Amino acid sequence: MPYARCFTRWTGAVLTCAALVYQPASAQVLERDVGDFSLKLGTTPSRTMAQGLVTPSTGDTAFHGGLDLTHESGFYFGQWSPSAGLSPDTTLEVDSYMGFKKPFDKTLGYELGVIRYSYPNTDQIDSHELYAGFRIFDSRIGTAVSTDAGRQDSTLFLDLGALASLGLDLRVQYGNHQLDSPAVIDGGGMVSAYSDWSLNVSKPWLGMDMNLMYSGSSLNGADCSAYSGHNSQCESAVTLKVVRSFF
């Protein structure tokens, strides 16, 4: 099922539009019952809370996927690999998670769990992230705290799901990053903490999936050399992604 994607990005005073890119298949999820468990195999993260936290696919986009096992009691565990490390410029990454999700009723529910990010083929130290959140109808609010070598990160996100009156999906994310040792910037400056944020709006339209995202951070200029947060780049950017299925 080929796809065409067009990306338009604005950064500062620069506007660029990339060429069309075709992918051989769309993201799919295979579901099966295994005893008291529900098994999901797919090319997109299937876990509701972890889906917004596991690393998205970058670079090695042809080889990524994972599995998710959910018990009828609410306990679940799974693994997601955003990159199989088969391309020369990518490395193997495995995100393993486990948690518990329970509804109070049809309108309320909660979820909590932990994710381990590991990089088997490199010397990079594994990191861990704790997350928790509440669901209200089709919306959810969550928070996550992670520890990594030399830093601590905390994230707050709000996913409003589908806004029926507008036909939009809306997600807001804010992150704060604390460095154990300040990063020295060219010119003598130092950065010991910074924050970043993003707003993502998506809408199906005329058979296309429209995605508009604004992202930014508290750093700019030379300070951006210390940035390694949630966004793909440090300074403010607006990205438009259009996905169209031809078959």
The reported pLDDT for the residue numbered 165 is 66
- Is residue 42 left, alpha or beta, with left meaning phi > 0 and alpha meaning psi from -120 to 50? beta
Q: Distance between CA 57 and CA 197 in Å, rounded?
A: 19
- Is residue 161 left, alpha or beta, with left meaning phi > 0 and alpha meaning psi from -120 to 50? left
Mean pLDDT of the chain: 77
What is the radius of gyration, based on Cα positions, of the chain? 19
**Is the pLDDT at 218 greater than 50, yes or no?**
yes
| 79: amino acid identity, one letter | Q
Contacts of residues 170-173 at CB distance under 8 Å and 24 or more positions apart, as own/partner, are: 170/199, 170/200, 170/201, 171/52, 171/199, 171/200, 172/197, 172/198, 172/199, 172/200, 173/52, 173/197, 173/198, 173/200, 173/230
Question: Which tokens belong to 223?
Answer: 């300070």
Torsion of CA 55, 57, 60, 64, to 10 degrees: 90
3-state SS assignment for residue 89 = coil
Q: With beta carbons less than 8 A apart as the criterion, state whether 48 and 25 touch.
A: no
The residues that bridge with 237 in the sheet, in sequence order, are: 11, 215
Quick one: pLDDT band at residue 127, thresholds 50, 70, 90? confident
The reported pLDDT for the residue numbered 194 is 95
Domain ranges of the chain: 24-202+218-235
**Is the pLDDT at 18 greater than 70, yes or no?**
no
Q: Distance between CA 186 and CA 200 in Å, rounded?
A: 33
**Is the pLDDT at 45 greater than 80, yes or no?**
no
**Is the pLDDT at 27 greater than 80, yes or no?**
no
What confidence tens digit (pLDDT) does each residue in 151-194 have? 899 999 888 876 666 677 888 999 999 999 998 887 778 899 99
